Structure 1
Amino acid sequence: MTYQVAHRSLGDIWSLLGNIDAVHGLYYLIMHGVFGVWDGGLLALRAPSVIATVVAAAGVGAMGRHLRNGRTGVLAGSLYAAIPMVQHFAQEGRSYALVSATVVWACYVFVRCMGRGSARLWVAYAVLVAIAGWLHEFAILVLVAHGATLRVVGATRPVIRSWIVSAAAATVAITPLAVVSVGQSGEQLGWLGGPTLAVWLQFFAISAAGLALGLYVARADAASCFPGTSGLTLPAVALPLLVLPGGLLMTVSLLKPWYVERYVLYSMAGLALLLGCAMDSLVRSMPWCSLRVRFTACGLAAASLAALLPWSLLIRSPESRKDNTVAVAKAVESYAHRGDSVLFMPARRREWLLSAPSVYHKIDDLALDVTPATSGTLHGTELPASVIRARMLNQDKIISLSDPAGQPLDTFPEEVVKRQVLKDHFERCARTKVRGAQISLYVRTGQCD
């Protein structure tokens, strides 16, 4: 999605954002600039997310050091980069890694403001939160976590007053985006259902683990307060960040399904901080003069890395994605000659080839009426069902790109007619299955030879 949208002109991107995907508008513009400077294909697509993850890990480390000590910072930053979910989105050509990096550094400035917060620091805080919100509006939920931190530590009135002003400024700054994106939410998030029981259980398990880590740190090291600010402990910052943004979004999703875990990816910074702090407390409590203890600690560290290795390898493979667009493009290229007719079933699967222009431009998109760029949509608009039927009946060979067997079938007239004409007038002569897709070659009935 990002690849093909970012390659449109600025006018076409603006037209798209007026119809859908305004929530990703700033990210598309950033990627448009990246491809304008360096059109490096998949490497250029993923490089900003990789860099953003490194920047976020550095921010987590800076927070750990500022709130406790250098070892906590090193451990927390390293653990953030090792979290499977973080690694997954470090490879994605989407905005979530950039959102996380911006939120993490907003959190760092926030804890600095809790000490000797100057007006310049509070302005920087508001700007960072606003930028994060423009990258994805649910980043604004970090304000809920920071409000809880202020309440827990009993912040002074001047600090609370400055935070309210900064939070209000950031909220006002992203209000235009929120207004537009709420109007688009029916089409943008219509595919979402409410959080399942498994999702709730996962959330409660992670929250309980975070609470347990926070209690351990509080008991093991009462001296972990931020110097100069009574009561500002690392758990007081990290635990609300881990729990509240996702918890609030899941609660709202009971009425309006808006929750997807990647929307609050930045909450993993809270988990990394708590883990790093707990490990530092554990290290400090160990009698390191014992050789046995040292070997045991090294063994546990090695076992932890070994346990994460399968996850790290999996998320770097096509099996970690719902589909494999590169494999789809290769399969179509093996079937199609220049000018061959192709059907996307359903139409949104056009995305599989839009990001492979060298393949897409040589085929005849049988049902397409207006291209995505011209129509200001993600996947283009299609011809009426009657026209699609007539065009299909004029073909002797059709290549279809469809979901794997067993997936729900769209009931739109355009999709129904595609399936019906293929069933009544064509037979499938060949099929290639790839991750999340199947590519089929249809010819007129009785002509498979």
Structure 2
Amino acid sequence: MARTDSSPPMPSTDRSAGRAHARTAALPPALRRLARAVWLPPALLTLAAGLLMIKRPVLWHDELATLTVIRRPTGAILAMLQHVDAVHGFYYLFMHYWTSLFGESPTMLRLPTVLAMSGAAACVALAGRRMFGARAGLLGGLVFALVPTVVRYGQEARSYAFVVLLASVALLALLRAVERPTVLRWGLYALSLVGTAYLHLVALTFLAAHGLAVLIAWWRERREWRRPVGFTAAVLLAVAFAYPLIHLGTKQSGRQISWITVPVPDDLTLVWGGIFCSTLMAGGVLLAGALAWGGPRRDSAALGTAGVLVPVLLLWELSRVGSVSYFIPKYMFFVLPAACVLAGGGLALVRLRGAAVALAVLGLLSLPDQAAVRDPLSHAHYEYPKPLTWFAPLDYRAAARIIDANYLPGDGAAYGQQRDAVWWGVDNGVPYYLQYLPHHVKLRDVGAGESGQQRDDLWPTLCAEPESCLHDEPRIWLVSKDDGDPDVLNTVTVPEQQTLDRHFTVQRVWKVSGLSVALLVRK
């Protein structure tokens, strides 16, 4: 007899599950445990997908921001967080210690986020098993592994993969606490909320959906007060621990995300393609999730649907009425676990062969976007699949190869970034890739002023007196963000432009995506 939702979400006990259990019971103990590990195939598939071509995409300026911070001493990182990027502080500190052990190659910079997405896939499968049954858990985890976002942001040295991981951990911890509301289980749930807050405060909007799950469970057994009391206590405890970050992050939000536009009604439909990094995949997963409402576990379907829709609607409204907008796809990746759990619940209602075909179709739908997010310049498309129209991706690696092939001892460097827009990271990206090329070139930046570390900020300043910053370099490599100006000297500040023009002449200019590389020789 099929189980209905008269109590908190629990694994399914239908006939197919019973037959599968009987077959599993006949296996040797080791294989039996492996066969019941619904989390393992999704985790391994996600890991393999994340490692595939992990070095291929060029680091983009957000990843370079990570790099410039994590190279600093711990005290310097903490000092910077008082002024900017406090919401990423936990991630920066983790990456600081990670790279001190394993180095800062592209693979090592991105491996933690690959592992985070793999862990999230495991949690999706485990949550799906509790909500809809073992088959649903396995299918949901595999759907998660196929989502292009999981690869794209699993291969980015930023915190978003960890946010997805903590959101999936929080969902699983909630299900366990609602099932058996002990102090320990609510404590673990509170810990997952604190972790989420210290990675991305906006993700805590999933609490609205979690509250609905607790309300449903309480409504079923209104004499059981441990669930609402435990949930409330966990949320209050998490807010108390996260309050310093909430206070600091609120003060810094105007500087950091003021560029995000206020959403319009059409964005409520368009945003899903960005959340999944694939419009086709978004449609397929959401359609599969809708099928879950045709099964007996309506409470689980309600929790999954709320976990997908409520945070998005809440952020849309908050962004319209508040002073700052948060409505950008990458701030909503944390709904992916709930979406994939729900999709697994829908696919599990279909016969096994049909579910396998549906999974294969989803995989085929994702293939074009899976390839696109592994393109060498894909990381600049930060709202993929939305077209990138306002700048060409900056290929720091190609620029570094030109310098490495033509370098002479004594050469210096200057970096043109729309005169003073240092956040493009040209002065970080090119030297980063130079260190991994055959000549291991290190160029002195003749235009550098105070470093970001000296300023307790993300970015450095430029030299206030370029004449005094210039030494006796016979040649200068001027690497600039290319906006189409034929005069490469127009990319630096006016004082630096005058200094370079006085002492050097442009001998040759190379062009790569988004950048010009000019060789300047002394007059």
**TM-score of the aligned structures, taking structure 2 as reference length:** 0.71
Compute the displacement of 1:404 (Å).
3.4
Code of the aligned partner of 1:7: R
Matches within 5 A, 1:417-436: 417-418=495-496, 428-436=506-514
For residues 21 and 68 of structure 1, do their structure 2 counterparts lie closer, same or farther at Cα, with a shift above 3 Å needed?
Answer: same
Query: 2:336, 2:503 → 1: CA distance?
Result: 53
Q: How does 1:131-280 map to 2 (within 5 A)?
A: 131-151=195-215, 155=219, 156=222, 157-195=225-263, 199-203=267-271, 213-218=288-293, 220-222=294-296, 224=297, 233-254=299-320, 255-280=323-348
Q: Are the counterparts in 1 of residues 412 and 446 from structure 2 also a CA contact under 8 Å?
A: no
Out of 33-42 and 92-101, give the one that drifted further.
Answer: 33-42
In terms of mean alpha carbon deviation, does 263-272 or 55-64 score higher? Answer: 263-272
In structure 2, list runs of 5 or more residues that go unmatched.
1-64, 276-281, 381-393, 486-490
Q: How does 1:20-419 map to 2 (within 5 A)?
A: 20-39=84-103, 41-151=105-215, 155=219, 156=222, 157-195=225-263, 199-203=267-271, 213-218=288-293, 220-222=294-296, 224=297, 233-254=299-320, 255-283=323-351, 294=353, 301-322=359-380, 323-337=394-408, 338-345=410-417, 346-348=421-423, 349=425, 350-353=427-430, 355-356=432-433, 358=435, 362-384=442-464, 387-388=465-466, 397-405=475-483, 415-418=493-496
DSSP 3-state at the match of 2:153 = helix
Distance across 1 between alignment mates of 2:178 and 2:68: 43
Q: Identity percentage over the alignment?
A: 24
Bigger helix fraction = 1
CA 1:304–1:143: 2 relative to 1, 3 Å: closer
User: How far off is 1:76 after superposition?
Assistant: 0.4
Count residues with an aligned counterpart: 419
| Separation in 2, partners of 1:40, 1:342 | 24
Q: Distance in 1 between matches of 2:215 and 2:285?
A: 19
Structure 1: which 5+ residue stretches go unaligned?
226-232, 285-293, 408-412
Q: Quote how far apart the aligned CAs of 1:201 are.
A: 2.9
What residue is the counterpart of 2:388 in the other structure? none
Identify the range of structure 1 (314-323 vs 247-256) with the bigger mean alpha-carbon deviation.
247-256
Question: Whole-Å Cα distance in 2 between the matches of residues 430 and 197 of structure 1?
Answer: 50
Distance 1:74 1:417 in 2: 62
Give distance in 2, aligned partners of 1:417 and 1:243.
52
Cα 1:202/1:317, change in 2 over 3 Å: same
Q: Closer, same or farther in 2 for the Cα pair 1:18/1:357, shift >3 Å?
A: farther
- The question of whether the paired residues in 1 share the 8 Å contact of 2:304 and 2:338 is answered with yes
The one-letter amino acid paired with 1:99 is V
Matched residue SS, 1:93: coil
Q: Can you list the C-alpha shifts for 1:317-367, whole angstroms capped at 9, x where unaligned?
A: 213121443334333434554442312313222232464473898223122
Query: Which is further off, 65-74 or 306-315?
Result: 306-315
CA contact (8 A) 1:60 1:73 kept: yes
1:441 matched to 2:509? The reply is no
Counterpart contact for 1:64–1:234, Cα < 8 Å: no
Task: Check conservation: 1:49, 1:91, Cα contact below 8 A.
Answer: yes
SS of residue in 1 equivalent to 2:449: strand
Residue 171 of structure 1: CA displacement? 1.3
Q: Secondary structure at the match of 1:369?
A: coil
Query: Is residue 431–residue 443 contact of structure 2 (8 Å, CA) maintained in 1?
Result: no
1:4 paired residue among 59, 62, 68:
68
Alpha-carbon contact 2:143-2:359 (below 8 Å) kept = no
**Residues 1:126 and 1:300: Cα distance change in structure 2 (over 3 Å):** closer
8 A Cα contact 2:449 2:461, kept in partner:
yes
Structural RMSD (CA) = 3.3
